[in-house]
Amino acid sequence: METTHPETYDGRQDHIPGLKTPEIESFTNVYEGKDYTIDFTVPEFTAVCPKTGLPDFGVIYVSYIPTKRCIELKSFKEYILSYRNVGIFHEFLVNKIMEDLIQAVEPKYLKVIGDYNARGGIKTIVTREYSKD
């Protein structure tokens, strides 16, 4: 018996890598050359399910070792809030945040985790790590 999928997601998220988001600002790291880790958490993250249009809730964790620049948190907050009405898969959100942070501050190391609330009986955690070495 052949299974058919009348609705496919293919092609519906192709715009995400180029999605225009607010600029993530940065400031000079006066301790450049010293390895230290900066961790921050976004405990009330929301975006939208691209299929149902219903909100997705989760926690975003960011951990990085800066090089020349550090992430300015107010601009990062505005950046995160820009996703509130965006229909985006969990997997793509974590990748988009990762790429935007790399572009903003070129860290030595970066880890982004999207830890989403259970939806439909499934809990999703998406992790991506980057190392400049």
Active site positions, annotated: 49, 56
CB 96 within 8 A of CB 75: no
Annotated binding site: 71-73, 90-91
CA dihedral 81, 86, 91, 94 (to 10 degrees): -20
Bridge partners, residue 64, by sequence: 38, 110
Any idea how long the chain is? 133
What are the phi and psi torsion angles at 25 (to 5°)? -80, 165
Annotated binding site for substrate: 71-73, 90-91
The Cα–Cα gap between 102 and 110 comes to 8
Secondary structure class of 130 (helix, strand, coil): strand
The H or E element containing residue 80 is helix 73-81
